[in-house]
């Protein structure tokens, strides 16, 4: 019998040992599985081999005695054994079994059990599928392996045991596979799977006489308080990534109020982590003064930091400045400030005996005390350092006698936003205000009040953009006499603001008349703001608050929120509208998820209506008079507009687009004291090629829309305007075949077939020939002879992603032979070379040659 071969008694001895004396290293954890009493027990479910009534003959006392909670007799074929209730039919051959948590619980009252594989003759395989409930994770503990492959130093050969998650599990050498010819694991090798359903596969690929393993399994609660439920918590898993997460301060704060702080953990913690992984945990805060405390409560990695380590970066990418690297078992608490931090976890190859289980860290956010900075917005530095630092060369500036000038340095290292006023400083004929930001900052300055008294430009204000060292340009020059008082009748709206191109801006105030009294003095006052373009998008010129994020160089994920909190907005008394635009690059899409909206004025005359085609603001008065938040696609296509009575239960509202996506924040009447409404949204540039290639020069092929995992929130909208150009340099007749199994309204999505237009605007869409709607199910289109280049466009605005297949093929003719019956060159036919871009020439020559070989390029080309 299998049990004796595996020397179950020996196991039990050390199983007991480990459960009575918990493991020394508390970081390794597994669910303790032990039942019954005393160490004379035969196995998990069999109390004694003999001495109890046989279920089939009550007077016969020769049968095994079962553990009272959950043990059931194996029956006639194995009178001396018991097993877990519910699994009786697998008593003698526990192979290819599906174990459903709820059923196991109902039958045996237990959420755990044991798997003892039959003795297999390789090559062969057994699988075990576990179906947990939604609040459980699957845990497998492996204690014993016999003749199950070998580890050759990098991977398993000849056989393995692997736990893989998901309905279509992948078994791969770059995942956690364990193997060995005669292994006893104490502590056990512990795997966790968190994707719902999980399958344990025992696969022997070489010839063996007897291959076997022993494991325990558990459906472990995700809120297990002993740490077994640990997994990333409070964060957001980033779509299309293996193991990347986003943690946002406000979300963590919220979850903390509910009693759970945010938790980062390596995949499948506290089980063994998988090999060859790079997991990125992005941490974002809503302002620079928020301190992030990362406490590594558990850490167990190999000692040398070469292949398995954790790196923390100040910024959002791995090319940002490296703050620290951790490995081994140095638990630590680290504190940083910053809008973006990146925690990167990397693992190398597998490391027998498979007991490195990664890390767990908790996150805490707290505000830095601002008392000192709020009152002293400027810092005066000795002139000598300043002149060396900022004014190395220009005569007109350095020629001023040193004694008669002052320099005021305002550093973006210390304060990100504030007021300045030259009256707070000692009077000098020349004062320089130097705003110096961090490397990725630009400086934004606005003047609220100034007074220059002397006639004919004897006093002057100069605004200088100091791009890099010796590249300076004067942006503006204000001559005396002039008086400006903010908030007087003439200046009700936003002030002109000055924006630097680099991280430094210099403002020079030259005064020619010494003041008789402070009241009369010439002065300048305003506000400034350091804007980090790496994190908050590229500022757009001539605008107070418009930014752009380009998918190529922006962080791939982050947060945005409402503008209007910086001092620069102090002077605004009227409407405020800000555009934050996201532009994905070619093979990206952008997802924006509006997570929260606060304090939006409850206009009774505007309601938000959401349907399959997005959300709309339905209002009786013009939208500009109403606070609202909009998500717009390309060409100002409305995807979502949220206003007035919009209630938070509609949130989150999200959109994923393959063209640009713009968030417009509009406050009908902004004042510094009332401010506008608040919102926060997360964004992520997804790498996806769902729109596929854009130009096809092959003569036949197909385009199929890939599937995406559906979003969790109801109000998630897809907007696509994908185009595909089918191009040929030789004369042809195109036949298109479009099928779809969906039955959706034409307005949800449709595919249109156009002539190619050489003009680049409107995506090269020329004259329209056909429109396919999903209700058509299947249509074939035969396009006119010699319409060699066509553009197919998919247009989507819907909650569901379209599903369809487009096939095309071409009839071509030998270069100088005419097709019988085909018309000769049409009078107004455009020479096909008009469509060519110079560098595609050689490709088309190749095509020309190919086309000579291929008279009828049939569907054989489809399955390339
Ligand atoms: C039940 O077991 C007893 C004792 O072994 C035996 O005498 C008896 O014949 C059995 N009865 C049946 C119906 O098999
Ligand atoms: C278990 O199922 C797999 C296919 O799913 C099969 O290849 C294998 O032989 C089965 N194992 C046994 C022992 O029946
Ligand atoms: C181990 O086996 C894998 C897969 O067969 C192979 O690619 C790799 O080169 C082997 N490594 C060594 C060190 O032999
Ligand atoms: C865990 O969750 C389950 C179901 O949601 C609940 O019944 C149980 O009390 C929770 N346990 C703890 C320790 O919070
Ligand atoms: C999070 O909580 C901390 C302390 O409770 C607070 O200082 C901080 O401002 C909060 N952050 C956000 C974004 O709410
Ligand atoms: C110094 O700056 C002024 C503008 O302030 C400019 O016109 C002049 O060319 C600069 N001189 C040098 C030497 O760079
Ligand atoms: C800001 O901090 C950086 C790095 O700590 C330093 O190099 C730079 O000199 C500081 N800038 C100012 C103006 O203090
Ligand atoms: C995406 O496109 C860029 C440039 O267009 C290219 O460098 C990059 O390799 C592409 N990435 C993928 C995953 O195709
Ligand atoms: C919303 O209003 C409340 C009360 O006036 C205020 O405490 C809170 O900070 C406001 N929230 C935002 C995001 O402006
Ligand atoms: C095609 O779809 C778009 C948006 O989904 C819609 O605006 C347009 O009206 C549709 N075309 C037709 C002919 O229905």
What does the alpha-carbon distance between residue 163 and residue 170 come to, in Å, rounded to a whole number?
9
Segment (H or E) for 265: strand 262-265
Do both 173 and 261 map to the same domain? no
- CA atoms lying within 13 Å on the CB side of residue 393: 6
The first and second tokens of residue 198, run together, are: 């999980």
In this model, does residue 667 exceed pLDDT 50?
yes
Mean pLDDT of 403-412: 76
750 CA closest ligand 10 atom index = 1
Quickly state the pLDDT bin for 35 (edges 50, 70, 90). Answer: low
Ligand 1 atom closest to the CA of 58, numbered from 1? 1
What CA–CA distances, in Å, run from 329 to 33, 302, 305, 410, 793? 27, 8, 11, 42, 55
Q: How far is ligand 10, taken at its centre, from the CA of residue 804, in Å? A: 16
pLDDT above 50 (res 782): yes
Per residue in 56-79, pLDDT (tens digit) is: 888 899 999 998 888 999 988 889
Contact 277/311 with Cβ under 8 angstroms? no
Q: What is the spatial distance between Cα 248 and Cα 152, in angstroms, rounded to a whole number?
A: 42
CA 43/CA 36 separation, integer angstroms: 10
Backbone torsion region of residue 270, taken as left when φ is above 0, otherwise alpha when ψ lies between -120 and 50, otherwise beta: alpha
DSSP code, position 153: S
From 586, 590, 686, mutation site for ligand 8 pocket: most ligand atoms within 8 A of C-beta: 586
Which residue has the least CA distance to atom 5 on ligand 5? 366
96 lines ligand 5 (CB under 6 A): no
Phi, psi of 581 (to 5 degrees): -110, 135
| Residue 503, preceding peptide bond in cis (omega within 30° of 0) | no
Region for residue 445 given its phi and psi (left: phi exceeds 0; alpha: psi -120 to 50; beta: otherwise): beta
Å from CA of 586 to ligand 8 middle: 7
505: pLDDT confidence band, cut at 50, 70 and 90?
very high
Q: Of 27, 490, 485, which Cα lies nearest the Cα of 226?
A: 27
Q: Does one domain contain both 516 and 594?
A: no
Is 3's pLDDT higher than 70?
no
- Residues ≥6 apart with Cβ < 8 Å to 599: 677, 678
Q: How far is the CA of 752 from the centre of ligand 10 (A)?
A: 10
Output the CA 408–ligand 6 centroid distance in Å.
21
Q: In this model, does residue 247 exceed pLDDT 60?
A: yes
CATH number (domain holding residue 700): 2.60.120.290
Top-confidence residue, 793 or 651: 793
Which among 687, 712, 742 is the end of a domain?
687
> Which residue's alpha carbon is at the smallest distance from atom 9 of ligand 6?
394
Decide: residue 209, CB within 10 A, 0-12 exposed, 13-18 middle, 19+ buried: exposed
Does some domain include residue 382?
no
User: What is the 8-class DSSP label of residue 839?
Assistant: G
Q: Are 655 and 715 in contact (CB under 8 A)?
A: no
User: What dihedral angle (degrees, nearest 10) is formed by the CA atoms of 591, 595, 601, 602?
Assistant: 100
User: Are the CB atoms for 617 and 605 separated by under 8 Å?
Assistant: no
- Structure confidence at residue 648 (pLDDT): 67
- Whether residue 298 is found in the same domain as residue 315: yes
228 within some domain: no
pLDDT tier for residue 847 given thresholds of 50, 70 and 90: very low
- Is there a cis peptide before residue 123, judged by omega within 30 degrees of 0? yes
Same domain, 654 and 582: yes
Probe target for ligand 9 pocket from 250, 599, 648, 651, with the most ligand atoms within 8 Å of CB: 599
- Does the Cβ of 485 fall within 6 Å of ligand 4? no
What spacing in Å lies between the alpha carbon of 693 and ligand 8's midpoint? 11
504 shares its domain with 555: no
Looking at the DSSP bridge assignments, the partners of residue 722 are 794
Q: From start to end of 672-731, where are the E strands?
A: 678-687, 695-696, 701-704, 716-726
Is this prediction's pTM over 0.85?
no
Task: Give the pair of three-digit tokens for residue 334.
Answer: 């680290």
> What's the pLDDT band for 405 if we cut at 50, 70, 90?
low
> Rounded to the nearest 5 degrees, what angle is found at the Cα of 660, between the Cα atoms of 535 and 721?
150
What is the Cα–Cα distance from 283 to 507, expressed in whole angstroms? 36
What distances in angstroms separate CA 426 from CA 256, 403, 724, one per listed residue?
48, 12, 67
Partners of 443 in the β-ladder: 530
Answer yes or no: do 554 and 509 share one domain: no
> Which one of the ligands is nearest to 229 CA?
4
Same domain, 6 and 140: yes
Q: Are residues 730 and 634 in the same domain?
A: no
Cα of 285 vs centre of ligand 5, distance in Å, is: 9
Q: How far apart are CA 787 and CA 789, in angstroms?
A: 6
> Which domain-ending residue is among 512, 536, 560?
536
Answer whether 756 contacts ligand 10 (Cβ < 6 A). Answer: no
CA distance 195 to 167: 9
Domain count, the chain: 5
Domain that holds residue 682: 540-687
Q: Is there an atom of ligand 4 within 6 Å of 223 CB?
A: yes
Bond prior to 475 in cis (omega within 30° of 0) = no
Q: Is 124 in the pocket of ligand 2 (CB under 6 A)?
A: yes
Position 631 scores a pLDDT of 96
Residue 310: is its pLDDT beyond 60? yes
b/e sequence 302-325, b meaning 16+ C-beta within 10 Å = beeeeebbbbbbebbbeebeebee
Among protein residues, the one with the nearest Cα to ligand 10's atom 10 is 747
Would you say residue 102 lies in a domain? yes
Nearest 5°: phi and psi at 549? -115, 120
Same domain, 673 and 717: no
Q: Looking at residue 487, what is its pLDDT?
A: 57
Q: What is the pLDDT of residue 778?
A: 92
pLDDT of residue 369: 60
Ligand 10 atom closest to residue 771's alpha carbon, by position in its atom list = 13
Does residue 244 fall inside a structural domain?
yes
The ligand 5 atom nearest the CA atom of 285:
13
Residue 231 lies in a domain: no
CA of 689 to the centre of ligand 8 (A): 9
Nearest ligand, CA 60: 1
The percent of residues above 90 in pLDDT, for the chain, comes to 34
Q: Cβ neighbours of residue 34 under 8 Å, at least 6 residues apart?
A: 15, 16, 19
What's residue 567's pLDDT? 84
Cα 313 off chain centre by: 17
Residues 627 and 653 in one domain: yes
Q: Ligand nearest 600 Cα, by number?
A: 9
383 lies in a domain? Answer: no
Sheet with 97-100: list strands edge to edge: 97-100, 124-131, 198-204, 159-165, 177-178
CA–CA separation, 678 and 564 (whole Å)? 9
Residue-wise burial string across 803-822, b where 16 or more C-beta atoms lie within 10 A, e elsewhere? bbebbbbbbbbeeeeebeee
Q: 726 is written with which tokens? A: 């089918």
- What do you get for the CA distance between the two ends of the chain, in Å? 52
Q: Is the CB of 413 under 6 A from ligand 7?
A: yes
Q: Is the CB of 314 under 6 A from ligand 7?
A: no
Considering just the CA atoms, what is the radius of gyration of the chain in Å?
35
768 CB within 6 A, ligand 10: no
> Would you say residue 403 lies in a domain?
yes
Which residues on neighbouring strands pair with residue 48, listed in sequence order? 65
- The dihedral formed by the CA atoms of 633, 635, 637 and 640, expressed in degrees to the nearest 10: 40
**pLDDT tens track for 466-485:** 876 666 778 888 888 888 77
pLDDT reported for residue 407: 82
* 104 — pLDDT class (breaks 50, 70, 90): very high
Judge if 680 and 620 occupy the same domain: yes
Rounded distance from Cα 224 to ligand 4 centre (Å)? 8
Last residue of a domain, one of 315, 344, 367: 367
Q: Which residue lies with its CA nearest to atom 14 of ligand 5?
A: 250
Burial per residue of 349-376, b for 16 or more beta-carbon CB atoms within 10 angstroms, e otherwise: ebbeebbbbbbbbbbbbeeeeeeeeeee
Q: Looking at the domain assignment, is residue 217 inside a domain?
A: yes
Are 216 and 316 members of one domain?
A: no
**Which mutation among 123, 125, 164, 171 tests ligand 2's pocket best, with the greatest number of atoms within 8 A of CB?**
125
Lowest mean pLDDT among 519-523, 604-608, 798-802, 827-831: 827-831
Residue-wise burial string across 36-69, b where 16 or more C-beta atoms lie within 10 A, e elsewhere = beeeebbbbbbbbbeebebeeeeeeeebbbbbee
Calpha distance 468→449 (Å, rounded): 29
How many angstroms separate the alpha carbon of residue 180 from the centre of ligand 3?
Answer: 15
């Amino acid at each position: 019998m299998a049990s004796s071969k595996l020397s179950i008694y020996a196991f039990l001895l050390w199983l007991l040992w480990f459960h009575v004396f918990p493991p020394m290293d508390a970081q390794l954890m597994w669910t303790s599985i032990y039942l019954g009493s005393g160490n004379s027990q035969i196995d998990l479910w069999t109390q004694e081999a003999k001495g109890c009534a046989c279920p089939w003959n009550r007077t016969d006392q020769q049968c095994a005695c079962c553990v009272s909670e959950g043990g059931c007799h194996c029956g006639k074929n194995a009178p001396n054994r018991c097993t877990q209730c519910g699994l009786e039919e697998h008593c003698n051959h526990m192979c290819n079994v599906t174990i459903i948590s709820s059923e196991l619980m109902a039958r045996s009252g237990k959420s755990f059990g044991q798997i003892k594989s039959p003795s297999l003759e390789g090559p062969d395989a057994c699988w075990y599928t576990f179906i947990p409930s939604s609040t459980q994770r699957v845990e497998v503990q492996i204690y014993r392996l016999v003749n199950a492959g070998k580890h050759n130093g990098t991977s398993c050969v000849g056989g393995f045991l692997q736990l893989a998650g998901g309905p279509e599990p992948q078994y791969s050498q770059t995942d956690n596979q364990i193997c060995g010819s005669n292994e006893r694991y104490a502590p056990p090798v512990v795997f966790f799977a968190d994707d719902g359903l999980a399958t344990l596969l025992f696969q022997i690929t070489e010839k063996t006489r007897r291959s076997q393993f022993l494991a325990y399994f558990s459906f472990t609660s995700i809120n297990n308080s002993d740490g077994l439920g640990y997994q990333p918590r409070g964060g957001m898993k980033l779509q299309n990534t293996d193991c990347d997460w986003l943690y946002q301060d406000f979300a963590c704060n919220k979850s903390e109020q509910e009693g759970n702080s945010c938790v980062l953990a390596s995949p499948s913690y506290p089980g063994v982590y998988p090999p060859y992984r790079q997991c990125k945990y992005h941490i974002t805060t809503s302002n620079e003064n928020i301190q992030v405390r990362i406490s590594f409560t558990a850490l167990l990695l190999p000692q040398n930091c070469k292949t398995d380590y954790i790196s923390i970066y100040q910024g959002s990418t791995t090319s940002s400045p490296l703050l620290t690297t951790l490995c081994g078992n140095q638990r630590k608490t680290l504190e940083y400030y910053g809008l973006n931090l990146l925690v990167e976890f990397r693992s190398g190859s597998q490391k027998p005996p498979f007991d490195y289980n990664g890390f767990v860290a908790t996150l805490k956010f707290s505000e830095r005390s601002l008392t000192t900075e709020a009152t002293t917005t400027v810092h005066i530095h000795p002139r000598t350092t300043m002149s060396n630092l900022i004014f190395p060369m220009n005569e007109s500036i350095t020629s001023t006698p040193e004694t008669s000038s002052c320099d005021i340095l305002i550093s973006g290292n210390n304060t990100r936003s504030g007021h300045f006023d030259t009256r707070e400083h000692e009077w000098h004929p020349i004062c320089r205000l130097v705003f110096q930001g961090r490397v990725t900052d630009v400086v934004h300055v606005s003047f609220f009040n100034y007074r220059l008294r002397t006639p004919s430009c004897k006093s002057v204000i100069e605004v200088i953009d100091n791009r890099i060292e010796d590249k300076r340009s004067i942006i503006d020059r204000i001559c005396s006499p002039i008086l400006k008082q903010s908030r007087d009748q003439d200046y009700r709206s936003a002030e002109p603001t000055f924006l630097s191109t680099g991280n430094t801006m210099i403002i020079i105030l030259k005064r020619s008349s010494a003041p008789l009294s402070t009241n009369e003095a010439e002065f300048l006052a305003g506000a400034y703001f350091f804007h980090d373009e790496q994190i908050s998008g590229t500022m757009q010129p001539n605008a107070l608050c418009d930014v752009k994020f380009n998918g190529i160089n922006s962080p791939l994920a982050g947060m945005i929120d409402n503008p209007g909190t910086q001092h620069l907005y102090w002077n605004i008394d009227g409407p405020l509208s800000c555009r934050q635009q996201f532009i994905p690059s070619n093979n990206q899409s952008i997802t924006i998820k509006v997570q929260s909206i606060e304090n939006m004025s409850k206009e009774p005359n505007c309601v938000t209506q959401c349907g399959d085609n997005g959300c709309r603001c339905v209002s009786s008065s013009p939208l500009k008079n109403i606070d609202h938040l909009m998500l717009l696609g390309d060409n100002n296509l409305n995807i979502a507009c949220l206003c007035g009575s919009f209630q938070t239960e509609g949130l989150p509202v999200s959109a994923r687009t393959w063209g640009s996506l713009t968030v417009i924040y509009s406050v009908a009447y902004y004042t510094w004291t009332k401010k506008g409404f608040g919102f926060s949204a997360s964004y992520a540039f997804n790498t996806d090629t769902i729109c596929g290639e854009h130009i096809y020069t092959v003569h036949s092929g197909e385009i199929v829309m890939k599937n995406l995992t559906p979003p969790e929130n109801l109000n998630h909208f897809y907007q696509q305007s994908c185009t595909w150009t089918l191009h040929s340099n030789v004369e042809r007749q195109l036949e298109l075949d479009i099928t779809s199994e969906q039955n959706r309204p034409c307005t949800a999505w449709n595919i249109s077939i156009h002539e190619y237009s050489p003009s680049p605007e409107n995506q090269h869409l020329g004259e329209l020939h056909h429109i396919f709607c999903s209700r058509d199910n299947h249509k074939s289109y035969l396009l006119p002879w010699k319409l060699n280049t066509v553009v197919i466009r998919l247009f989507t605005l819907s909650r569901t992603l379209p599903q369809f297949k487009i096939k095309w093929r071409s009839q071509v003719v030998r270069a100088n032979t005419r097709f019988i019956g085909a018309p000769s060159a049409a009078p107004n036919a455009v020479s096909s070379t008009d469509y060519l871009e110079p560098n595609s020439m050689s490709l088309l020559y190749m095509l020309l040659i190919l086309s000579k070989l291929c008279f009828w390029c049939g569907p054989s080309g489809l399955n390339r």
